[in-house]
Amino acid sequence: MSHGDHSRDPCPYVILNDFGGAFAMGAIGGGIWHGIKGARNSPRGERFVGSMSAIKARAPVLGGNFGVWGGLFSTYDCAVKGYRQKEDPWNAMIAGFLTGGSLALRAGPRSAFGSAVGCGILLGVFEGVGVLMNRMFAQPIPQMQLPEQAPAAPAVA
Amino acid sequence: MSFLSGLFGGSGSSQPVEKEVSASSELFNSTTFRSNAIPSDPSSSSSSSSSSSALPQPPTSQAPAPVTPAPTALDTFGTAFDPARLHPLAGLGENLDFLALDEDKLNEIEGSASVLPSRGWTDDLCVGTGTTYLSGLVVGGMWGAKEGLSRPLGNNPSMKLRINSILNGCTRRGSFTGNSLGVLAIFYNIANSSLDSIRGRHDTYNVLGAAALSGAIFKSTAGVRPALVGASIMTAAAGAWSAFKNTV
């Protein structure tokens, strides 16, 4: 493996990337989802119009929800990484805990804590599955072949 | 495996002892302390001169071996990779291969260099959408905060009521502005990347065309006339931004 993950930007900039990625995922996926749903819920002959109005009304909102979640998670992830100076599954769990808590903050501290614990557990399950998959599909490290006998002569005379 | 056999003197004993001497002389010639430790017997010097083509030296200079500077990390990684310039004891030949070096290639379309290095159209889409969405969120949040601050709440409103009003304004205006601008940015970035890959280069015409296209798509459900208005507004904004970038 190379040193570190070069397929992503360094930490403060990756927040923008995650924000936009999550927003685009929510908006495009919401467009497909609400397009089909709006077409199914419309009477015959109005299907295209119904689908379009459902997309216009709901897809940006879904994109916004996804984007806020992803961006907040990425921000907390970077902050936790910067504070702990480590990269391990605990980062994502702590960031998920903080994200869930922040998003439910207006509903009161009790509800916020419940949502935070739920999000933290969800992210913990994700990370656990990731670790398990990694361990299952990792190539076994081959045993190093040592020479049979001691070196015949030192390399430098 | 060749590296190991070179290091341990060939446990299979297929390698002659002559190879050992020449390898050690190459070691002395290639390192920095060669000036006081050059092996001086003629047989090894002839063998080292015969094998000096494998010595690490820059491709332009034809100087003899003792003048050749040792390769630094910059020489090795700053130019095109040549395995013969690595250490001669390693015994690396032409059969050296790499694990997928081009897995994260940067965007190579001409003229598309931006503030952040981009790895292709998905990166552009994500970063562009994220930046626009975030700025829309901030601007809309400020708009909503101003609205919530100035909203009449009857005489003698409590602090809690005022904060609630401000938060309501932020979440209403901020999400509306952010969502609209984010969707617009998705359209713009997809159009821009498509035009880039169709035309093979990136310039101001691409920007203007993508802006017109995205503005027209964004307002396309309201009718032809609003679509044209939206396209012209977006084109004007993109033109102003391009002119600003060119003057700075």
pLDDT in tens, B124-144: 888 888 889 999 999 999 999
What does the pLDDT read at residue A139? 73
pLDDT in tens, B42-86: 444 444 444 444 455 455 544 445 555 555 555 545 555 555 566
Dihedral sign, CA of A67, A69, A70, A75? positive
> Does a structural domain hold residue A156?
no
Distance from the A48 Cα atom to the nearest Cα atom in chain B, whole angstroms: 12
Q: Residues of A at the B interface (Cβ-Cβ below 8 Å)?
A: 6-7, 9, 13, 15-21, 23-24, 27-28, 52, 56, 59-61, 63-64, 67, 71, 106, 145, 147-149, 151-153, 155-157
> Does a structural domain hold residue A14?
yes
Q: Is the pLDDT of residue A33 over 90?
A: yes
> Does a structural domain hold residue A37?
yes
Residues A61 and A91 in one domain: no
Provide the domain count of chain A: 2
B183 neighbourhood in chain A, CB within 8 Å: 27, 59-60, 63
CA distance B220 to A12: 36
Distance from the B163 Cα atom to the nearest Cα atom in chain A, whole angstroms: 11
> Does a structural domain hold residue A38?
yes
Please indicate whether, in this complex, the C-beta atoms of A7 and B104 are within 8 angstroms of each other: yes
Closest to B125 (Cα-Cα) out of A25, A123, A44, A92: A25
Q: How confident is the model at residue A87 (pLDDT cuts 50, 70, 90)?
A: confident
What does the pLDDT read at residue B97? 57
> Does a structural domain hold residue A50?
yes
Return the number of CB contacts < 8 Å for A and B.
103
In terms of C-beta density within 10 A (0-12 exposed, 13-18 middle, 19 or more buried), how is residue B146 classed?
A: middle
Contacts of B219 by beta carbon, 8 Å cutoff, 6+ apart: B226, B227, B229, B230, B231
> Does a structural domain hold residue A60?
yes
Lowest mean pLDDT among A10-14, A134-138, A152-156: A152-156
CA distance B62 to B78: 20
Query: Containing domain of residue A92, as a range?
Result: 87-133
Please indicate whether, in this complex, the C-beta atoms of A20 and B125 are within 8 angstroms of each other: yes
> Does a structural domain hold residue A101?
yes
* Nearest neighbour of B9 by CB, restricted to A20, A106, A151: A151
CA distance B89 to A151: 15
Please indicate whether, in this complex, the C-beta atoms of B126 and A152 are within 8 angstroms of each other: no
B221 neighbourhood in chain A, CB within 8 Å: 52, 56
Amino acid at B18: E
pTM of the model: 0.64
Amino acid at A84: R
Residues A12 and A56 in one domain: yes
DSSP designation for B201: B
Residues A63 and A91 in one domain: no
Q: How confident is the model at residue B156 (pLDDT cuts 50, 70, 90)?
A: confident
Residues A65 and A18 in one domain: yes
B21 touches chain A (CB under 8 A): yes
Q: Is the pLDDT of residue B239 over 50?
A: yes
What does the pLDDT read at residue B24? 46
> Does a structural domain hold residue A154?
no
pLDDT in tens, A132-143: 888 888 777 777
User: Does ipTM top 0.85?
Assistant: no
Residues A29 and A57 in one domain: yes
Q: How confident is the model at residue B154 (pLDDT cuts 50, 70, 90)?
A: confident
